[in-house]
């Protein structure tokens, strides 16, 4: 059995809600509420879910950009969730983040070369000349050219900016890259270029990805394993084929059938869910999905189903699969 590169154990992040003067109890928004998964070397773990399910928060909590409330993040035998800011610096050498919005995540007043160089200044002992060389090398790696280093972000298109973001993330030779909706803001013809680039980099540099997205087709394309999130919890997890060809949880089934597809001949009957995702401030009792579920049983609104193994590395949190 291969050992995981990064293990997320029972990760929780609860935001306190402003307490009214007369209210006695402190309430919390449970943005993520007990998430478990492992990243294996050179594999991609895809985290899918709709807005508000906590997928992006999970990425940020791993990086400690937001302090997690509870749980462990094991990287190289150490729990990085308890690290101090200065200790985290060494972790950032190994774990990097690519952001969703290529327009907001690059400093408009810095030349592209400087943007990519910054992690090298902070976290490596290369001299100025070596850094320049590394920047040029990185630009070539992501399909840009060395002469782009002196240009500013506004001179680039969305796809090119995302490439710059990727180059910056690669600067320190990280082991893990967390890509948070990395292609969502791009046009389809550009999206495919960036997805191919990510795959090529994974092959060449042996990278491990945590790929966070709402787009089921994109996640399927890039991932080896998949976790489906709903209201702060992973409700189904398994290999790509397991989750996509044999979805078990009613939410996963609905999500897959709701995703629009071009080839309509092999479209199964669409399951259209009623209602919206409930507010995490006031989640339903029992299984959080039961008010929208088409297969809900009486116990679903009382007992919270645990994520359980159903064989072949497939896990599901649903009462339908209790023996």
How open is the CA angle 248-240-274, to the nearest 5 degrees?
40
- Residue 280 CB, shortest distance to other proteins, in Å, is 13
Identify which range of 25-33, 70-78, 121-129, 212-220 contacts other proteins by CB under 8 A.
Answer: 212-220
CA distance linking residue 34 with residue 114, whole number of Å: 39
Q: At what angle do helices 158-170 and 112-123 cross, to 10 degrees?
A: 20
CA distance linking residue 183 with residue 98, whole number of Å: 10
Q: Does residue 321 touch other proteins according to CB under 8 A?
A: no
- Residue 144 CB, shortest distance to other proteins, in Å, is 12
Size of the site for other proteins (CB under 8 A): 40
Which of 14, 30, 55, 214 contacts other proteins by CB under 8 A?
214
Identify which range of 114-122, 172-180, 253-261, 305-313 contacts other proteins by CB under 8 A.
Answer: 253-261
On whether the CB atoms of residues 183 and 162 are closer than 8 A, the answer is yes
Q: Is 4 exposed, middle or buried (0-12, 13-18, 19+ CB in 10 A)?
A: middle
Pick the closer one to other proteins by CB: 55 or 314: 55
Q: Does residue 46 touch other proteins according to CB under 8 A?
A: no
DSSP string, 273-311: --S-PPPTTSPPSSSTTGGG-TT--GGGGTSPPP-EE-S
Which of 276, 306, 309, 312 contacts other proteins by CB under 8 A?
276
Which of 29, 74, 146, 190 contacts other proteins by CB under 8 A?
190
CA distance linking residue 164 with residue 143, whole number of Å: 9
Buried b (16+ CB within 10 A) or exposed e, 137-173: ebbebbbbeeebbeeebeebebbbbbbbbbbbbbbbe
Which of 10, 173, 196, 285 contacts other proteins by CB under 8 A?
196
Residues between 26 and 45 that touch other proteins (CB under 8 A): none
Which of 3, 18, 22, 272 contacts other proteins by CB under 8 A?
272
Residues that bind other proteins (CB under 8 A): 50-51, 157-160, 187-193, 195-196, 199, 214, 216-218, 220-221, 244, 254-264, 266, 270, 272-273, 276-277
């Amino acid at each position: 059995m291969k050992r995981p590169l990064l293990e997320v154990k029972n990760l929780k992040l609860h935001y306190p809600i402003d307490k009214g003067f007369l209210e006695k109890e402190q309430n919390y928004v449970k943005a993520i509420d007990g998430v478990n998964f492992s990243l294996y070397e050179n594999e991609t773990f895809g985290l899918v879910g709709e807005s508000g399910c906590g997928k992006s928060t999970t990425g940020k909590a791993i990086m400690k950009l937001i302090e997690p409330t509870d749980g462990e993040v094991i990287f190289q035998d150490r729990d990085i969730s308890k690290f101090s800011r200065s200790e985290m610096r060494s972790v950032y050498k190994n774990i990097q983040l690519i952001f969703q919005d290529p327009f907001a995540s690059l400093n408009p007043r810095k030349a592209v070369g400087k943007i990519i160089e910054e992690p090298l200044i902070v976290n490596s002992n290369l001299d100025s000349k070596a850094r320049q060389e590394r920047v040029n090398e990185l630009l070539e790696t992501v399909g840009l050219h060395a002469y782009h280093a002196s240009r500013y972000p506004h001179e680039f298109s969305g796809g090119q900016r995302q490439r710059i973001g990727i180059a910056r993330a690669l600067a320190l030779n990280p082991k893990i890259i967390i890509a948070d909706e990395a292609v969502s803001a791009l046009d389809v013809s550009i999206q495919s270029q960036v997805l191919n680039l990510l795959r090529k980099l994974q092959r060449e540099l042996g990278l491990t990805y945590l790929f966070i997205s709402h787009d089921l087709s994109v996640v399927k394309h890039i991932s080896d394993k998949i976790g489906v999130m709903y209201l702060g919890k992973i409700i189904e997890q398994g290999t790509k084929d397991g989750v996509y060809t044999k979805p078990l949880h009613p939410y996963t089934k609905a999500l897959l059938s709701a995703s629009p597809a071009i080839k309509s001949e092999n479209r199964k009957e669409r399951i259209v869910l009623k209602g919206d995702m409930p507010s995490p401030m006031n989640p339903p009792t029992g299984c959080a999905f039961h008010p929208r579920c088409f297969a809900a049983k009486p116990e679903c609104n009382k007992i919270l189903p645990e994520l359980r193994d159903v064989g072949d590395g497939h896990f599901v949190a649903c009462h339908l699969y209790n023996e």
